[in-house]
């Protein structure tokens, strides 16, 4: 077991519906510590850089519009195996496939507006944390 950090976003569909606290409770109940957090409003261009890996996918333009449609809460979560644990707490991308009790099963509206983002590997976690946070903001 290794202490890890992962990057998380509470997406616009969730901030709009005042679900930040309910989602944070899920992270904390799972043993994930919120070691950095800020609420920002992305431009479409910034969302496009963040999701550049999906630039060729048919949903990319709609995804970038959605991510820039309202504030997001970006976070660094820390814990044992935080990357995998967060993906478990989030549930499957499509809420129709998400296990009961997961964030997406309880809160997501559809495959696009699915309430949370979580890094999928150590390399992407490091890149995504560095895109949104400076070292000075990571106090543990």
Which residues are tagged catalytic?
A: 117
Strands 3-10 and 72-80, bridge-based pairing:
antiparallel
Taking the least distance from each CB to ligand CDP, the nearer of 122 and 137 is 122
Q: How far is the CB of 120 from ligand CDP (least distance, A)?
A: 6
Other Cβ atoms within 10 Å of 64 Cβ, number: 23
Contact residues for ligand CDP (CB under 6 A)?
54, 59, 63, 93, 111-112, 114, 117, 120
Beta strands in 1-140 (DSSP E): 3-10, 33-40, 72-80, 116-118
Q: How far is the CB of 140 from ligand CDP (least distance, A)?
A: 26
Q: How far is the CB of 105 from ligand CDP (least distance, A)?
A: 13
Is residue 116 within 8 A of residue 15, CB to CB? The reply is no
Taking the least distance from each CB to ligand CDP, the nearer of 78 and 120 is 120
Strands laid side by side in the 3-10 sheet: 33-40, 72-80, 3-10, 116-118
Taking the least distance from each CB to ligand CDP, the nearer of 88 and 137 is 88
């Amino acid at each position: 077991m290794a202490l890890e950090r992962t990057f998380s976003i509470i997406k616009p569909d969730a901030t709009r519906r005042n679900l930040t606290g309910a989602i944070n409770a899920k992270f904390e109940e799972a043993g994930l510590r919120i070691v950095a957090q800020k609420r920002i409003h992305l431009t479409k261009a910034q969302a496009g850089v963040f999701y550049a890996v999906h630039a060729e996918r048919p949903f990319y333009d709609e995804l970038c519009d959605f991510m820039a449609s309202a504030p997001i809460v970006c976070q660094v979560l820390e814990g044992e195996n935080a990357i995998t644990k967060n993906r478990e707490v989030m549930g499957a991308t499509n809420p129709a496939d998400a296990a009961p009790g997961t964030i997406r099963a309880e809160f997501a509206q559809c495959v696009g507006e699915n309430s949370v983002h979580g890094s999928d590997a150590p390399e992407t976690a490091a890149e995504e944390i560095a895109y949104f946070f400076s070292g000075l903001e990571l106090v543990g």
